[in-house]
Structure 1
């Protein structure tokens, strides 16, 4: 099996020694070429080249942003009517060895968080031939793996990105502090979003909207954060949109996101766990994030579900690492 290992050497939790160990272990099982990213968008370029070269397997050692770039490089831009990817030749299998701060995609697939453990797990999966097809989300000419959103979360991602460029470490505690600060800064703004889905009528007066393709939405260290527990890689998209920024109402919903699997609920919350498409309109330019990557401001975004879009090396649903 011809494989490439795309490594982001600047990923949060990778080290030179750890990267060498991962590469050495994988090279004992597959015909491996190791490639390091050097700039933003490089992982996407490498993945596109791998597909065109007929590589069988693309392994990513990095965070969610690097994995997102690779997936977009593998699949290209889909046809607007069919949501099928526009590619030349077969799409390689995708595998992930976590190397970022949150690693939401890998952990949602059942991949171990520790890179060494994940590498051993990947070797076992390859030897057993275990793989599965998963659905993805799509918006703004970009595939997303696990979540996207307009408003609050996008502003948090923007602040985190600006801090990272300034040399600040990306940690769960920093995400929490930034989320709280951003919430209170936005709190007094009038609601300006309208959310429409294939499952119901348009809902106005929305302050912020999260769109998910899997569960959990993210992690705080080992704790999963669940906005849409009924959403999975095998279902449609989840929508989570708040029509209130009252502190007590928001805090109660946040506690539900952190504490249970039944799903957050509130009269101020629009939530559905399995929809084909979601359209969000804004009366003013509003930030958009995709898999934690801030894309800028938009006034209208349509999110679409693309079933069975990608083949990944991962445990079958229900299996444990």
Structure 2
């Protein structure tokens, strides 16, 4: 089988040694060709071309942003009135060897975050021909694999993107510091969001909202952060919307997010699991992020759950 290994050399934990080890190890299982990305959007272009050429497997060595690019390159933009992607020919399965800072998608699939261990795991999965279908989320003309959000998290992602451009690594500590600064900078602002879920009255007075396609929502080093613990790649979307920026109730919810087995709840929190779609409106333009990448300012976004959208090389169930 022909395989394409797409490497983002600028990802946080991607190294030439790990890339060479991965390529060498894969050569025992597949006929592999290596491409290193050189610019934003390059991974999507390469993946799309590989699918058209009949490549049988796409392997990603990079972070969540690179994975997102490749998924969007493979599936394309949905047809009007449908969530079916505009694609030509079969879509090859995707395998991920983590190379970023959080690697949420891969870890949520049960892939080890250590690139060397993950390489051995991938070889075993290929030998056993183990794979699974996963659902994805879609909004604003793009696919997302694990989460999206409007407001607070989008501002954090925007700030992290800017710090990366200035040569700063995207570490968990930097995310925490940035999130704290962003929270206090925005705590006095009036809520702007309204959440609309089918079969439910509109929820107004929302400051920020997270939409999940899986759980955890993210990781802080080894610790998972679970905003919608019941949301999985096999269910609908999870919605987590805060109607306060007060410090005390916010800290209570944060503690719940970091407590294993906890189901986050608060009088000021609107949370639902297994939602087929959700529309979020804002009275002023507000930031949107998908899979940790800042997308831009939006006034209205509809998020849709798309079951069985992608085949991945991963354990049958994480």
Q: 1:52-91 to 2 correspondence within 5 Å? A: 52-91=52-91
Task: Say how many residue pairs are matched.
Answer: 318
Q: 1:160-309 to 2 correspondence within 5 Å? A: 160-309=160-309
Give 1:82 deviation, angstroms.
Answer: 2.6
8 Å CA contact 1:226, 1:261 repeated in 2: no
2:145 match: 145
Describe the superposition over 1:156-201 as per-residue Cα deviations: whole angstroms up to 9, x where unpaired.
Answer: 0000000110111210000000000000000000001000112411
2:273 & 2:230 partners in 1: Cα distance?
5
Describe the superposition over 1:264-311 as per-residue Cα deviations: whole angstroms up to 9, x where unpaired.
Answer: 000100100110001000000100000000011000000000000000
Within the alignment, does 1:21 sit opposite 2:21 as a pair?
Answer: yes
User: Do the aligned partners of residues 88 and 200 (structure 1) sit closer, same or farther apart at CA in structure 2, a change above 3 Å counting?
Assistant: same
Within the alignment, does 1:50 sit opposite 2:46 as a pair?
Answer: no
Describe the superposition over 1:39-80 as per-residue Cα deviations: whole angstroms up to 9, x where unpaired.
Answer: 000000001001100111000000000000000001001123
Q: Which runs of 5+ in 2 are unaligned?
A: none
SS at match of 2:83: coil
1:133 match: 133
Give 1:84 deviation, angstroms.
Answer: 1.2
SS at match of 1:69: helix
Of 194-203 and 32-41, more deviation after overlay is shown by 194-203
2:214 & 2:120 partners in 1: Cα distance?
24
1:94 match: 94
Cα RMSD of the aligned pairs, angstroms, is 0.7
TM-score scaled to structure 2, two decimals? 0.99
Deviation above 2 Å: which 4+ runs of structure 1?
none
TM-score scaled to structure 1, two decimals? 0.98
Give 1:263 deviation, angstroms.
Answer: 1.8
1:80 & 1:104 partners in 2: Cα distance?
30
SS at match of 2:202: strand
1:94 & 1:169 partners in 2: Cα distance?
26
8 Å CA contact 1:152, 1:183 repeated in 2: yes
